[in-house]
Structure 1
């Protein structure tokens, strides 16, 4: 067995190599590292043998390590790696991971952030850093990979099949990121500096858009005291503009009988409206990494490491928000697709609120991720070893959503201005192309004698997510040669605390000019006239408003800050200044809370090293037990009944609510997760893998919160509510099977891999919307009527109630993958550095989930599922020069787009192409040129059918020019 595995190692390195020779010392070091990987997977003793000595560098180096890691892993895995810190060219790890088979990304602001694996969304992807669970700034479980600079990550692996020693949580897969291990560095001292300038070619279209940015990183790895002490540190900074021009269609939420059909014919659904905007801003990310590794004796290795990433964003949106208000508008010349209105002429009525809002939003987002860990590896005997690990991970996010609304007045220069109610909006959607639009008020949109600021609102989201974990693993090597070569066992305990805090400040109205809160008259120094250009040039111009100047004029004593409050007009609130029927801000209290999750896990695993019909077989099998306690703070409305636990609850401004009972609610459950991985070495170059496992993904951490809230529409009196979060939600479970064939080329360099996978989904979380839900009958304290701002009253009536449950009706996800990598060394010498790497994945599922499209429920596929995903890279290297073009394609998929509120839509397929060229001037110094999103690929989405336009968003190309220095 030992001889066989060394021959595999020789072939793997030879098959991956792309040019001439290196020193024997370096080759032996590479061999030793490979032996360590093989030992971790197959637990077989080794003897040193001669191997072919070759050199690998540049892009080829990453491919070589990926092939070797895949070949000698004991699970189905994909990986990327870098020779040195800072060697990966990607802006973030999200971009880097999309080069792997079956991996696709969801672009946010034009850049990859969330990754999908085998057609499953980011919520089903579990991630670790140096083997430790990571929390996220997203308020969910999936980490935002753009938070992790590629310059500080030395390798990344995507486990598509698990083993019981891995932390549970990834139904789609587990992503393991690793920072540097300084004692594994090739040189005694390694120092790398990277600097790049950046330019975005769409920034000049954006008012006050920033065109240029930069990237800078430096890192050091050093070995001391006869290579028993290792030190590593790194710093990476990214400053870049964030720009886009976009049209966003809003959700269909207004049922209106437009065609006058029979009573049993469903009413047509009218969209809330649409937005046309320029978006811009600046993103600054500072990342830090440090590691200290010490080997005081041959039997003990100690390592401490730290990672910190701060990602701050300042963003703005300027343009229009059109509110159609279909229930009260006069609609002429309707264009109907199915039962959705995709165009028409909308006129405001006497009691209606059809309008065009000029939007000037300023948002800030301060995200921070910290991760600290200490690890001790101790070999008690030649057979018995232990590994102890303690870790801390914390993520904080402070997102401040500041909105400034403006409306058109009849005359903004008079003492008591009145709203211009002569509003006509004409539009026609054109599917995945920009719509046709027209406004009778268009000339007023750039006229400060007409436009007035009517409302300011700020709506912060403050999240904190923290986990402390302790883990002990043991491994025992069996002396006798048999079916099982070693046994592993371990236990892990973690405590996770998540908190979400909401607050609010609002002044004025987005639909009228309030006498008690008069609108603000604009002056020339506050505004700039902005026109759309290019494909968006048929949209009218508008006034971009300097928010700081406007707010300072509107609030000369200082802009009030948001608070968490019961607000005005809420029953049971003790405060003499409460105004009956006033704006309801109790949601800021009800949507705030904490989640607590404690997990105890233990596993037992046997490693296999045997032969079956003269075929070497390696792998593992075992079971993981997981016990989960999950609880959340809760406020239950008991109508002020003290005997039921009602208490006086004071908010941040001193208002006291007497209606609610505070408590902690939750549940405990236990799971057993059996898993198996088998690897059959058919020949020296052919390998067959089989894996089977039961897997789980817990609900997003924010959905375990216990909160129920409702709102009453002051125009219609309709009550809408939500309890889409619950501490009683259970995980997403699946039983999965993988089989793959791997062919490693011997005559040339590369490999071919084909795989089939099948996931039997047992349950998943689904959100249901119940139309015409009687909130009063269900015990909600709903008044019979509310008083509008103008003094009139409107009766309350049932509306939509959205709630989340575990859907026990599952189904399958299945698919196939192929990957092919080859360097064409059989070509003439000038072209021997030419190579290709590509992959194709097909995924399908019978699972249909339901989402609400207004009062209509439609079926959608699983979020993140693209049937077809492809990646391709064509590269060429010659005497220090390297160039490559990479493309990634995914077809239609379902995800969320963010508009006024997050809404589920279908995203159109997209092809993103990147290009890079570099030249290594000498052993230490190199230069590069890079273009991301070479074809300026937009993001496009739609509601159910392409005719029902969702988002059309263009981000621009990003150009990089830079240099790197290594010694």
Structure 2
């Protein structure tokens, strides 16, 4: 090889890095979605899908043509003959090895082959990937310390809508039985759709033409048992999973059909001890300033969850040049979660008398006795802010996701052309109802008043605390208890996308550096809407006779309230309570809830609204295949140009009847609001570089660099704002901002990869660095120029001139930004022992991540700086598995060190610290023959709780136990 050729390759690399560093200042973005779905045989998303060679002849060279990475992948996959978890692991090794970017892969031997409870569980097998457990089940994913809003998610190459109401995907919407392969892209390249500073999660369904059988039909049925459900009111310990899949090839293997169905039924189970957040204004207790918590709760979360998933694929490949693929995916998820228990509330702002306080070294209340105020709150007899209320809260959710499209691919000679049309829709309806019942004096009289009460509590850090009441029998006495308040707060989200994508690729014959040039366009219309509604009855403070005189407390009876006592060692010490059927209580009194948008609760109008985003992309990419110092160098260099238009129709409150007539959901007309549609357009230039230097057949070094972006959380782009007038100034409050910019970052990766012979293992070390330019925060701007930013400022009737500028409570891109950096280690090995023990294998991952970015919080009372949400310094997973003949078994463990994230407490989300977690799972399977198998699983083997805290571990936030789940079932294959 000539010295000139080495210089050319190195110059190309330098030019790519230079292009990367000189990117347009308007902001770069990562394109983290796989190309349009390309189900070529054994070629994973993200690997090169052309016929490039790994050692092309340069001009003047006599070097023979070598096999491309794709050819090598096909060959190695074809030699895999092992079964069980070893087969999945060794396939993933080869996909990772021959990818042209940095990625990790989880594969399934066939549809339904992923041995995990959910896609999120499967992803935690990968280095640098951690899951946050929601309701005991892995749902939200963090990659390299970044939360779901920094992650792009695709299915068959198409960006997925979300049921979360924001950008992040809830992976329990996607049955693992219908997913054939999942990849995590950690570096970017120009042909990938932008959207993930943290990474891209690319899910793939199976291609029936790649099925080794002409016809196959698989059925999997499992029954389950939850060990804690018997301790929770309204939870059934027994449930099931059922899936079926068919794949067939017709017309001389030119037509493939794949169909899949998966159903899940499982209990919703949690026992909770909750300490609510602290006031940031200290009270004086015992002669010293003390930060007081809002209250303490003990809850049982019961109910059930049900999911139905459907998948269909049709592939027509009449010849070697043309492939037409149609795919459709639909999932419907229902979670009926009901929270029952006791809530001692409103300790702060003088709402309760606090005696015998126990104070942490940081000055926070962590124990004591809270009692009613003698003579009543504000000196009004019978008015009490404090009460040990019996709660019956509905936190149900109904969600569905559809994703489908048509993909055409034509290949002839050096040309490859693809076109992909897709449409997707996600919808969710979350009903949060806040129900309280209280003990009364004089119930049944003309003026029942909340009884005087007293309770004591003590926090035990990361353990379950104490909760006791002075008169336990009062809270199960049907003669004294009555329903005080019922609030229903539905939230409805719709997330719709329509997209078109096309790429053209041309393979170069004898270019010394590039084996192909490709380019394309991407168009996406994204429409999002959120609707808030409300319906209220009674008063949680018992002052119905002041504010709602026609809504008195509602009596209970044995058919609407069931005495419920705690069980088990952790919670059995707590007082019994009444499990309320709140809807039956209303029905017995002829009351029918009718939640609507309501001007009297104007947040239902201003927090409703839509966001319209149009994306127009173009990219150009050169695919590299050359040699440097007699070593093969592959990869790509490219540029993606992204043009975005984002606008948000909503309402702005101007007041004083200065708006236009608008009716709420109850037909009431208001003239205090105007319709607005603010937004912006911008263009980003996103260069990327991926280089892979093949040191020899078993070792390679990768370098990747890119400008990347994540779009701001779409719920924060809403324009609706409420206003208030203060001292001649006009002030707006929303917490959202339609002018938010994306979150930009510059990222680098350097990896060393060693692969053991015969795809039997790998060792990979990766160091990475991301400089994130900005994060989205909620701030208050105290002298905001509303008119300059397109907001109408109403006229002050006293001056005849517009009001003066006041404060704007809004979302904002913090320009300080910060870094995220770390290292990842991955080790996988099978067949390292002789004889019968050759089926023993191990997979170990470890990631260390750190960031200098801090976020402000005062939920613990005193001001503090918390770590970047989602970031655990240490994340590790390990699996020990054994496959021999007809038997397979696996013991898996996941660990993550403490991290900061949002946790739901009642109906509010609080950013708290999560304690370290270790979760163990076990699985065993036996194949009786080619058609029948049996499976046994234990999930959360040690019943690991989720534990959160404020500021330091002495200030408990939430301790939740979910139980362990046992699965047993059979699989049939024909």
Note closer, same or farther for the CA distance 1:902–1:802 as it changes in structure 2 (3 Å cut).
farther
Paired with 2:80 and 2:558, the residues of 1 have a C-alpha distance of 69
How much has 1:339 moved relative to structure 2? Answer: 3.2
Q: For the structure 1 residues 845 and 781, does the alpha-carbon distance in structure 2 shift closer, same or farther, using more than 3 Å as the test?
A: farther
Shift in alpha-carbon separation, 1:821–1:403, aligned structure 2, 3 A = same
Q: Which residue of 1 aligns with 2:920?
A: 913
Q: Deviations over 1:201-258 (max 9, x none)?
A: 1010012321111000010111111111111010000011111100122121362431
Q: Which residue of 2 aligns with 1:535?
A: 570
Deviations 1:401-451 (A, max 9, x none): 223210110243x32352234222322211111222232242201111111
Residue equivalent to 2:662: 649
Q: 1:315 to 1:86 in 2, by over 3 A?
A: same
| 2:949 equivalent in structure 1 | 942
1:923 to 909, 926, 930: 930
Of 894, 898, 913, which residue of structure 2 is paired with 1:892?
Answer: 898
Deviations 1:143-179 (A, max 9, x none): 1111100110111100000111111001000010011
Instruction: Decide whether the 8 Å contact of 1:768 with 1:851 is kept in 2.
Output: no
Q: Report how far residue 953 of structure 1 moved.
A: 0.1
Q: What does residue 450 of structure 1 align with?
A: 480
Instruction: Tell me the residue number matched to 1:122.
Output: 148
1:244 to 258, 270, 291: 270
Q: Which of 485, 500, 504 pairs up with 2:534?
A: 504
Which position in structure 2 is the counterpart of 1:343? Answer: 367
Matched, 1:357 2:389: yes
| Cα distance in 1 between the residues matched to 2:750 and 2:341 | 52
Q: Find the partner of 1:409 among 412, 437, 440.
A: 440
Does residue 1:473 correspond to 2:503, yes or no? yes
Whole-angstrom distance in 2 between the partners of 1:186 and 1:767: 54
Equivalent positions of 1:467-866 (< 5 A) are 467-515=497-545, 516=549, 517-533=551-567, 534-554=569-589, 556=590, 558-567=591-600, 585-640=601-656, 642=658, 646-709=659-722, 722-746=733-757, 749-768=760-779, 802-827=809-834, 829-853=835-859, 856-866=862-872
- The aligned counterpart of 1:787 is none
Distance 1:531 1:779, change over 3 A: farther
Greater shift after overlay, 754-763 or 330-339?
330-339
1:303 aligns with 2:325: yes
Q: 2:399 aligns with which of 367, 386, 396?
A: 367
Moved more, 252-261 or 663-672: 252-261
Distance 2:580 2:702 in 1: 61
Instruction: Supply the distance in 1 between the matched residues of 2:760 and 2:316 (Cα, whole angstroms).
Output: 37
Summarize deviations over 1:381-404 as a string: whole Å, max 9, x none.
411221000100100001112232
1:39 is displaced (CA, Å) by 4.3
Matched, 1:867 2:889: no
Matches within 5 A, 1:372-383: 372-379=404-411, 381-383=412-414
CA distance in structure 2 between the partners assigned to 1:875 and 1:464 by the alignment: 42
Q: Matched residue of 1:297: which SS?
A: coil
Give how far 1:260 is off: 7.7
- 1:91 paired residue among 94, 98, 117: 117
User: Which of these residues, 407, 412, 419, is aligned with residue 388 of structure 1?
Assistant: 419
Q: Aligned in 2, Cα 1:38/1:277: closer, same or farther, shift over 3 Å?
A: closer
Instruction: Provide closer, same or farther for how the CA distance between residues 68 and 106 of structure 1 changes in structure 2, counting only shifts above 3 A.
Output: same
Task: Kindly state the Cα deviation for residue 40 of structure 1 after the two structures are TM-superposed.
Answer: 2.3
Q: Summarize deviations over 1:917-954 as a string: whole Å, max 9, x none.
A: 11010011100100000000000000111111111000
- Between 441-450 and 299-308, the greater mean CA deviation after superposition: 441-450
Name the CA distance, whole Å, in 1 between partners of 2:866 and 2:276: 18
Residue 812 of structure 1: how far off its partner (Å): 1.1
| 8 Å CA contact retained: 1:704, 1:725 | yes
Distance (Å, rounded) in 2 between the aligned partners of 1:206 and 1:183: 48
Question: What SS class does the counterpart of residue 270 from structure 1 fall into?
Answer: coil
Shift of 1:859: 1.2
Counterpart contact for 2:132–2:141, Cα < 8 Å: yes
- The alpha carbon displacement at 1:35 in A equals 10
Match of 1:331 in 2: 354
**Alignment gaps of 5+ in structure 1:** 2-29, 568-584, 713-718, 784-798
Tell me the distance in 2 between the aligned counterparts of 1:215 and 1:650.
Answer: 46
Deviation at 1:733, TM superposition (A): 0.7
In structure 2, C-alpha distance between the alignment counterparts of 1:41 and 1:73, rounded to whole Å: 13
Paired with 1:35 and 1:867, the residues of 2 have a C-alpha distance of 31
Kindly provide the CA deviation profile for residues 892-915 of structure 1, in whole angstroms up to 9, marking residues without a partner as x. Answer: 011111113111101001011000
Who is 2:25 aligned against? none
In structure 2, relative to structure 1, the CA distance for the partners of 1:243 and 1:856 (3 Å cut) is: same
- In the alignment, which residue of structure 1 is the partner of 2:307? 285
Alignment of structure 1 residues 946-961 onto 2, 5 Å: 946-961=953-968
Q: Displacement, 1:721?
A: 8.2
- Alpha carbons of 1:130 and 1:748: their partners in 2 closer, same or farther (altered >3 Å)? closer
Give distance in 2, aligned partners of 1:846 and 1:430.
31
Deviation readout 1:492-539 (Å, 9 max, x if unpaired): 010010000011110101110524211111112222111112211221
Write out aligned runs for 1:73-92 (5 A).
73-92=99-118
Comparing 327-336 with 161-170, greater Cα deviation is found at 327-336
| Residue among 216, 222, 228 paired with 1:196 | 222
Question: How much does 1:852 deviate?
Answer: 3.8
| Secondary structure of 1:535's aligned partner | helix
Go from structure 1 to structure 2 and tell me whether the alpha carbon gap of 1:711 and 1:958 turns closer, same or farther (over 3 Å shift).
farther
Conservation of the 8 A alpha-carbon contact between 1:767 and 1:851: no
The answer to whether the Cα contact below 8 Å between 2:606 and 2:652 also exists between their aligned partners in 1 is no
Kept in 2: contact 1:324–1:346 (CA 8 A):
no
| Helix, strand or coil at the partner of 1:589 | helix
Partner of 1:33: 42
TM-score by length of 1: 0.88
Distance in 1, Cα, partners of 2:794 & 2:447: 40
SS of 2:348 mapped into structure 1: coil
The TM-score with structure 2 as length reference comes to 0.87
CA contact (8 A) 2:292 2:861 kept: no
Q: Structure 1 residues 668 and 441, CA, compared in 2 at 3 Å: closer, same or farther?
A: farther
Q: 1:268 aligns with which of 290, 308, 327?
A: 290
Cα distance change on mapping 1:875 and 1:855 into 2, 3 Å: closer
Give, in angstroms, the shift of residue 746 of structure 1.
Answer: 2.8
**Displacement of 1:183:** 1.2
User: Contact conserved, 2:267 with 2:302, CA < 8 A, in 1?
Assistant: yes
Relative distance call for 1:53 and 1:99 in structure 2 (3 A) is: closer
Report how many aligned residue pairs link the two structures: 886
Match of 1:21 in 2: none
Task: Compute the displacement of 1:472 (Å).
Answer: 1.0
Single out whichever of 747-756 and 859-868 deviates more from structure 2.
747-756
**Whole-angstrom distance in 2 between the partners of 1:54 and 1:903:** 48
| 1:491 alignment partner, SS class | strand
Secondary structure at the aligned position of 1:466 is classed as strand
Separation of aligned partners in 1, 2:959 and 2:920: 19
**Which residue of the partner structure matches residue 32 of structure 2?**
none
The residue that corresponds to 1:576 in the other structure is: none
C-alpha change, 1:37 and 1:861, in structure 2 (3 Å) is closer
Q: 1:156 aligns with which of 175, 182, 207?
A: 182
